Chain A
Amino acid sequence: MVEPLLTVRELSVEYASKRGQVKAVTDVSLFLDKGSTLGIVGESGSGKSTLGFAILNLVPSPGRVVAGKIMFDHTDILKQNEDNMRRIRGAEISMIFQDPLTSLNPLLKIRDHFTELFRVHSSTNHEDSISRAGQLLDDLGIARERLSDYPHQFSGGMRQRVMIGLALALNPKLVIADEPTTALDVIVEAQILELMKKLKDAYGLTLILVTHNIGIVAEMADRIAVMYAGRIIEMGPTNDIFADPLHPYTKGLLESAPNILHPERSMRPIPGSPPDLITLPTGCKFHPRCPRVFETCRMSDPLPVECKRRLVACHLYA
């Protein structure tokens, strides 16, 4: 059996706040095979972005990984010093953020973003860097001449294309995209998704796609991990989860999303609201909102169990 490219084991991340510890990620385990796409879905505060940052060992202060292990291509990520991590980020694992404007340097031309990346990470000479950057722009559907433009001369969609280009420039083994199209209009979003699909095949990418939009994971992901209150509550093949969601929250999430094809089957609300991460409910974190709650749910936190080719953390399947 081939070893997964990425394995996360029992990872927990907490943020310190005046009111107490915010348990952003609790006991998360997952694996990712080379060449596959994992969609991490959840609402705001579910821990999906924190999980993405943790894989890059980039949890922002006052956050801290309190437990767990992240193995990436035989490297123990959480044990690396900052110099090693800097080498890994960009070259081995790269990230695409939601807001391309704050991620590009307004004082640097697009070309300089690329050449700096090559200068820091590889021994490529200047001419080669520029021709490689031009080639990337071709792949992204941007005219080469625009290498000498500044970020403000680009539209939102073009900037996001540049971000994708920068993320792919060093042929990383893993790309983490955190809400890559959330800031974009629907047609530009579709353009970017089509581009990402094309590049995924062309570059053989391994991708983690973090998003709240289940329409996007349906289109892009091979497997899905659904997060709620910092935990993965269901994980498995995309088709299986959409056809037959096991966890009541997954079912609720799928039904609460608008579906243009079946308006009558969409937008059913889940009662209540997502929990406060400092004072979490006892037992299963979803039990106060769950339509199928019973005695055990209030008392003990369900562990993930294997059921129908996937993992689900719910007492109904224990």
Chain B
Amino acid sequence: MEVTGLRKYFPVQRGFLENALSRKHEFVRAVDDVEFSIEKGETFGLVGESGSGKTTTGRLLLRLIEATSGKIIIDGKDIVKAHPNELRDFRRQAQMIFQDPTAALSPRMTVGEAIKDALDIHQIGPSNARKETVLQILGRVGLTPPELFYDKYPHQLSGGQRQRAVIGRTMILEPHLIVADEPVAMVDVSVRAQILDLLSSLKKDLGLTYVFITHDLATANYFCDRIAIMYLGRIVEVGLRDEVFNSPKHPYAVALMSAIPVPDPQHKRQRMIPRGEIPSPINPPSGCRFHPRCPKAFDPCATKDPGMIEINRTHRVACHLFDAE
């Protein structure tokens, strides 16, 4: 997958009078010129705070919302421009897992019916064999005995079991690409790792590619091969997991790393916390968007937008500190 120049601007909703009186249209620049590529079979993490544009990027990748501009090339095809008919196949091969499994499952359908529904919609396999397929996948995602879970309603399951059911419904379509948006954020801590391990083993078995969206750096560190850190609609740093975590370059990435609570009372550190909070994405700061909060800001930062600068073949950062002399 190759993403270039991806943008999504949402128009700002205003009252009727304001619209009538003003000609100026304002936009929330949720995703603004984002560029990255994902290899088949890898787990790519999109990490950022709320408002960074990570979720919008994920939705754009599956064309759940229309991009303002840019290209998303998957297997040689531009998803942004694809005709709705061409999208039908793509929609089966590319699936999304959402944060809240309770909202993703119909309360009136048993878990088995909900999963079978996905097969019915896409007309996969002969209809009399579909139940058998569902039972197999229930077993695979750890809802055993499958016969028992087939007839359970979502409210009879725990949070972790519900997320397993959602994963089962996603996997039964045999997708190639999965965008998982905070899949473990609403699951209990002791169960979180179970769900991540399930996703890992499914990936190995089915040869999947994951885009993993999270605000939780520690989870991203555990789960992802490569990581992109987003700030105000931009990617500020991208690299292999170890590169980003062990030697973060962008001052924002450094700040994020130092902010994470560490479960070790002996661990003493000096935090590098930026002043203030994330500014509005309606009128983002000029130049580098992080410059008003950056402890290392200097001359060009306020005026000149840093492009992506290559540290090495895999590690890139958008920061003037690394401009070539």
Contacts and interface: CB of A to CB of B under 8 A. Distances in A.
Interface of A: 43-44, 155, 157-158, 185-191, 193-194, 212-216, 218-219, 238-239, 242, 252-254, 256-261, 263, 266-271, 273-274
B8 to A, nearest CB: 21
Given A43-B188, A253-B189, A267-B192, A259 B49 contact: no
Interface string B157-192: 011110000000000000000000000000011111
Contacts of B9: none
A260 B49 contact: no
A153 to B, nearest CB: 13
Contact of A267 (B196, B217, B258, B271): B196
Nearest to A289: B190
B245 to A, nearest CB: 7
B259 interface: yes
Given A187-B259, A190-B273, A242 B264 contact: yes
Contact of B191 (A157, A186, A273): A273
B197 interface: yes
Interface in B140-158: 158
A185 B216 CA distance: 9
Given A242-B266, A263-B221, 7 more contacts: A186-B256, A187-B273, A216-B261, A252-B190, A267-B196, A273-B188, A274-B188
A213 B261 contact: yes
Contact of A253 (B190, B218, B264): B190
Contact of A43 (B189, B219, B256): B189
Contacts of A190: 258-259, 261, 271, 273
Given A44-B188, A194-B273, A273-B160, A185 B197 contact: no
Interface of B: 49-50, 158-161, 188-194, 196-197, 215-219, 221-222, 245, 255-267, 271, 273-274, 277-278
23 contacts: A158-B277, A185-B215, A186-B217, A186-B256, A186-B259, A187-B255, A187-B256, A187-B259, A187-B274, A190-B271, A214-B263, A218-B265, A219-B265, A253-B189, A258-B218, A260-B221, A260-B245, A267-B222, A269-B192, A270-B190, A273-B159, A273-B160, A273-B191
Give the 8 A-B CB pairs with smallest separation, nearest first.
Answer: A215-B261, A258-B218, A269-B193, A190-B259, A185-B49, A270-B190, A269-B194, A267-B193
A218 B221 contact: no
A258 B274 CA distance: 24
B257 A260 contact: yes
B294 to A, nearest CB: 13
A239 B265 contact: yes
Contacts of B196: 267
A127 B117 CA distance: 66
Contacts of A261: 262, 264, 267
A100 B277 CA distance: 16
Nearest to A187: B259
Contact of A186 (B190, B193, B260): B260
A259 B218 contact: yes
Contact of B260 (A155, A252, A260, A268): A260
A219 B262 CA distance: 8
B221 A258 contact: yes
A82 to B, nearest CB: 35
B264 A259 contact: yes
